[in-house]
């Protein structure tokens, strides 16, 4: 049990920092400094333990799905919903949920953690379950190499006490099974005809996708605009979905496999599938806002595989397109990744607006794919205004890096209803 004064102090900082409009992690940082055992002591009280979700792409949406699916099974779930996926973000989220005695009224914690932070976290708090989604080029300037990132995920798996769920279609993830002799391992995957939709970075320049013989507990069989077919164990289910984008739908397979591993044989499949049908994407992961009566979709892009999947998921015709690329620390400073994305699918419609600190890097990239660019402005506020004004009657889509997305949402909040993320 954490010391009561720490809880009270942390809660006070949380309220104060919210009044200031500050970030979601500050109060967590304060508590961590004062009582490093705070998170561990609080989470240790949960009857069904801790779940860690990590990987390069899809953590936030998958975590949101897992939480809602577990709630459909009658569990009370604690999560770091704000997307602040660092340890201090977990501490900050805990402060919002515990009472003044320091008790957390939940059955289970489902935590989204950045790979590097997850490694530190699991050393202090071994999770009962973990889900390892994928390892792609992302922020290599922070981690160095993909193989280094894969090692981090291996440590998360090895620190897990009960069950580990792995992506069968990502060869670096599937290989981790060999390091998990004492854990129960299950896989989620794709039907063979869908595999080519998800090229890994290794497959990008024409290598052949190697089939493997691992049996997946949950498989995405097929999908179209508003429904998907999954195989759960031996049973096939078809369900309508509010999620868009192939990657979100594949994440649903990951979430289903994890929830099946947690709940086991007593799972209520009917409620599970009904709840999946209701899940909406997490903020900035294909969320749709409305401006002047027209939909505007925000698609977060932070690495080549994510950008490629985004372009593949959303058809450009009939839409006005904007791309906003920042290179702040959280976005990654290296612009090389833009050259590993193929933009030829935008040739016919062109791109209406290019923005962000590195707008001209992006415009240059588009030039070499012979994609027409209508306007370039590094100032996101001005670019967004121009984009909205010149495309009034069209549905719109904005591909943006993380900090560009925060900026765009802030601007849009002035003119439409935007869900608060802090």
Partner 1 sequence: MTGRSITILQLYPLDMNIYGDYGNVLVLKRRLQWYGYEVNVLAYNVGDSFPDDVDIIIGGGGQDSGQVKIQADLMSIGPRLKQLADQNVPMLVICGLYQLFGKFFKTADGEVIQGIGLLDIETYGKSERLIGNVIVTSEQFGDIIGYENHSGQTYLGDDVKPLGEIQLGAGNNTESNTEGARYNNVIGSYLHGSILPKNPKLADFLIDRAVTNKYGVFYSEPIGDNFVNEARKIASKRPR
Q: Give contact residues for partner 1 (rule: CB under 8 A).
A: 137, 140-141, 144-147, 201-202, 204-207, 327, 333-340, 357-358, 360-361, 363-365, 367-370, 373, 376, 378
Q: Which of residues 39 and 359 has its CB atom nearest to partner 1 in the complex?
A: 359
Q: What are phi and psi of 314, to 5 degrees?
A: -115, 120
What's the min distance (Å) between Cβ of 139 and partner 1?
Answer: 11
Q: Which residues contact 20 (CB under 8 A, 6 or more apart)?
A: none
Q: Which of residues 204 and 221 has its CB atom nearest to partner 1 in the complex?
A: 204
> By three-state DSSP, how is residue 79 classified?
strand
Torsion sign across C-alpha atoms 356, 357, 362, 367: positive
Q: Which of residues 13 and 322 has its CB atom nearest to partner 1 in the complex?
A: 322
Q: Which of residues 119 and 254 has its CB atom nearest to partner 1 in the complex?
A: 119
Residues 403-408: contacts with CB within 8 Å, 24+ apart? 403/326, 403/328, 403/330, 403/331, 404/324, 404/325, 404/326, 404/331, 404/355, 404/356, 404/380, 405/284, 405/298, 405/300, 405/324, 407/324, 407/326, 407/380, 407/381, 408/298, 408/324, 408/380, 408/384
What's the min distance (Å) between Cβ of 24 and partner 1?
Answer: 25
* CA 120 to each of CA 124, 155, 168, 177, 233: distance values in angstroms, whole numbers, following the listed order: 7, 10, 25, 21, 33
What's the min distance (Å) between Cβ of 145 and partner 1?
Answer: 5
Strand partners, 271: none
Q: Which of residues 100 and 211 has its CB atom nearest to partner 1 in the complex?
A: 211
- 287 CB neighbour count, 10 Å cutoff: 20
What's the min distance (Å) between Cβ of 141 and partner 1?
Answer: 5
Of 35, 47, 52, the residue nearest 1 (C-alpha): 35
Please state, in angstroms and rounded to a whole number, the distance separating the CA atoms of residues 113 and 85.
5
What's the min distance (Å) between Cβ of 196 and partner 1?
Answer: 17
Q: Which of residues 147 and 226 has its CB atom nearest to partner 1 in the complex?
A: 147
Please state, in angstroms and rounded to a whole number, the distance separating the CA atoms of residues 14 and 207.
50
Q: Which residues contact 291 (CB under 8 A, 6 or more apart)?
A: 388, 396, 412, 415, 416
What's the min distance (Å) between Cβ of 22 and partner 1?
Answer: 23
What's the min distance (Å) between Cβ of 328 and partner 1?
Answer: 9
Q: Which of residues 187 and 307 has its CB atom nearest to partner 1 in the complex?
A: 307
What's the min distance (Å) between Cβ of 290 and partner 1?
Answer: 32
Q: Which of residues 147 and 419 has its CB atom nearest to partner 1 in the complex?
A: 147
Element (H, E) at 261: helix 246-263
For tokens 């996101």, the residue is 380
Q: Exposed/middle/buried for 89, CB within 10 Å: 0-12, 13-18, 19+? A: buried
Q: Which of residues 268 and 370 has its CB atom nearest to partner 1 in the complex?
A: 370
Element (H, E) at 274: helix 269-278
Q: Which of residues 92 and 341 has its CB atom nearest to partner 1 in the complex?
A: 341
Q: Which of residues 140 and 214 has its CB atom nearest to partner 1 in the complex?
A: 140
Structure tokens at 228: 């998907």
What's the min distance (Å) between Cβ of 207 and partner 1?
Answer: 5
What's the min distance (Å) between Cβ of 322 and partner 1?
Answer: 16
What's the min distance (Å) between Cβ of 378 and partner 1?
Answer: 7
């Amino acid at each position: 049990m954490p010391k009561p004064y720490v809880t009270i102090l942390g809660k006070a900082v949380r309220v104060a920092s919210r009044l200031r409009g500050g970030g979601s992690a500050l109060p967590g940082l304060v508590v961590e400094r004062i009582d490093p055992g705070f998170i561990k002591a609080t989470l240790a009280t949960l009857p069904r333990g801790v779940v860690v979700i990590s990987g390069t792409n899809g953590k936030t949406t998958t975590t949101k799905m897992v939480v809602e699916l577990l709630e459909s099974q009658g569990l009370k779930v604690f999560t770091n919903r704000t997307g602040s996926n660092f340890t201090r973000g977990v501490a900050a989220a805990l402060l919002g949920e515990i009472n003044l005695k320091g008790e957390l009224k939940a059955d289970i914690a489902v935590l989204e953690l950045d790979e590097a932070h997850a490694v530190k976290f699991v050393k202090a708090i071994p999770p009962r379950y973990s889900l390892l989604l994928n390892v792609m080029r992302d922020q290599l300037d922070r981690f160095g190499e993909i193989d280094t990132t894969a090692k981090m995920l291996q440590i998360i798996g090895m620190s897990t006490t009960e069950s580990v769920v792995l992506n069968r279609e990502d060869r670096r993830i599937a290989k981790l099974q060999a390091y998990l002799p004492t854990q129960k391992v299950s896989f989620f995957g794709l039907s063979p005809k869908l595999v080519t939709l998800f090229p890994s970075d290794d497959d990008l320049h024409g290598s052949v996708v190697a089939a493997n013989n691992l049996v997946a507990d949950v498989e995405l069989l097929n999908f179209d605009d508003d429904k998907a077919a999954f195989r759960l164990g031996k049973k096939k289910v078809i369900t309508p979905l509010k999620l868009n984008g192939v990657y979100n739908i594949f994440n649903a397979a990951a979430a289903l496999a994890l929830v099946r591993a947690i709940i086991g044989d007593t799972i209520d499949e009917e409620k599970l599938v009904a709840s999946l049908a209701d899940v909406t994407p997490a903020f900035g992961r294909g969320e749709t806002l409305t401006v002047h009566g027209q939909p505007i979709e925000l698609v977060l892009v932070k690495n080549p595989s994510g950008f490629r999947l985004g372009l593949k998921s959303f058809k450009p015709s009939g839409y006005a397109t904007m791309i906003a690329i920042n290179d702040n620390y959280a976005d990654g400073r290296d612009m090389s990744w833009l050259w590993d994305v193929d933009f030829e699918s935008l040739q016919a419609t062109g791109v209406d607006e290019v923005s962000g600190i590195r707008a001209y890097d992006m415009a240059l990239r588009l030039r070499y794919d012979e994609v027409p660019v209508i306007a370039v402005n590094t100032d996101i506020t001005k670019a967004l205004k121009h984009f909205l004004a010149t495309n009034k009657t069209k549905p719109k889509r904005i591909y943006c890096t993380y900090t560009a997305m925060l900026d765009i949402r802030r601007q849009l909040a002035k003119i439409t209803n935007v869900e608060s993320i802090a």
